[in-house]
Structure 1
């Protein structure tokens, strides 16, 4: 797994803020922290265009259904389900973050485990020359 140094720094900063504000450790935060720990940090210019990064627009298909949706992976302050903006701190956001086109990922909701396949990344900031800290 590869992560841009910009995404790593911004997400790590937000994790510290959340952990200071809340005394309990959320399962999702621990999952994200684990993913960050396994990822290799590289300059944004070295991120392949088939990797889901922050502010990527991702086309997802729910496995075993015909349901396809496009979501933009954003920082929590920009989350807006009506606008199809998904927080990195959500179960689905963590699952797709740093995955690649063709990957099938599993995420849990309070009801069940869900499987999603990453069909495409119609927009990835790094592939389009956007190498600065990103916002919605």
Structure 2
């Protein structure tokens, strides 16, 4: 947030994240939502088919390094309701989650974290990206005409996941 840099977001991610912002603005995470909204406002938007494979998109697994400590972490960027830090799944509205979204391998960002500190994070690798894996069916939820999820449909903000090895995949419906 303190460093302007190019970020890339897919149309699908932008649409879902804008709905997330609408749902959570003014709530207990208002400051974090505002940070995410700021990032999205200056992002370049592309289609899921055209996003480069080294860009961090929603449900991507990313390896990043804290440049001050040299610590490397592997996490999956997910929606708030799917976040499980003990499983390495961090929310896009968590301070580090918002920082990672849209970055590509080699990019760094200085980002404020709780406690008044700033961390410099660098993207080392994107071992799994739904778009690069051809998992386009995971990006478009099935919805009823009413806009509400039916009994056999999932809300687009609550994708299901299954672990296959160390990669987390989103399952349709």
CA distance in 2, matches of 1:40, 1:105: 17
> How much does 1:6 deviate?
0.8
- Tell me, what secondary structure is at the counterpart of 1:86? strand
CA distance in 1, matches of 2:120, 2:58: 21
Partner of 1:108: 112
Q: TM-score normalised to the size of structure 1?
A: 0.90
The higher relative CO (CA closer than 8 Å, separation ≥ 6) is in 1
Q: Which has more radius of gyration?
A: 2
CA distance in 2, matches of 1:39, 1:123: 21
> How much does 1:27 deviate?
2.2
Name which of structure 1's ranges 83-92 and 60-69 shifts more when overlaid on structure 2.
Answer: 60-69
Higher helix share: 1
Structure 1 consecutive aligned stretches of length 4 or more whose deviation exceeds 6 Å:
none
Partner of 1:34: 38
CA contact (8 A) 2:65 2:72 kept: yes
> How much does 1:72 deviate?
0.3
Report whether the alignment pairs 1:63 with 2:67.
yes
Instruction: Summarize the Cα distance change of 1:55–1:25 in structure 2 as closer, same or farther, 3 Å threshold.
Output: closer
The aligned length equals 134
> How much does 1:84 deviate?
0.3
Report whether the alignment pairs 1:97 with 2:101.
yes
Q: TM-score normalised to the size of structure 2?
A: 0.72
CA distance in 2, matches of 1:100, 1:37: 18
Q: CA RMSD, aligned part only?
A: 1.8
Task: Give unpaired runs (5+ residues) of structure 1.
Answer: none
Task: Give unpaired runs (5+ residues) of structure 2.
Answer: 1-6, 141-155, 162-173
CA distance in 2, matches of 1:39, 1:62: 23
Partner of 1:88: 92
